[in-house]
Amino acid sequence: PSGLAVLCTFKFGSIEMGLEAKICSACNVKGLGLRGDDLQLVPEQSLLQLKSWDLQIAKSLMSLVSIAVGINDSQRAEIEALYLHGFDYLGKYIAKKIVQANHI
């Protein structure tokens, strides 16, 4: 949820920005991070327990941005977990997402 919150802040601005949010968030930001269909790539031992802060962020995102945030089994994955497939795997993963325009 934290990574998605950062993406939304860049894309839409923040509440603290007030009316300036529309001016400052005019760039076309894309998110290349892990999505639900990518979780099969993450080794189970790399999954982390969701903390109460993660759940709070997910609830906030669902109410503010009207997006679906998947909370499965109270666990989360970080993109760095893909390094377990080899040091160059993460770079190849991101390059493939860019080429296929597989982003948020």
pLDDT at residue 72 tops 60: no
- What does the mean pLDDT of the chain come to? 78
- The pLDDT of residue 15 is 63
Helix/strand/coil for 72 = strand
Whole-structure pTM value? 0.60
Residue with the bigger pLDDT between 57 and 69: it is 57
Q: Backbone phi, then psi, for 72, in 5-degree steps?
A: -110, 125
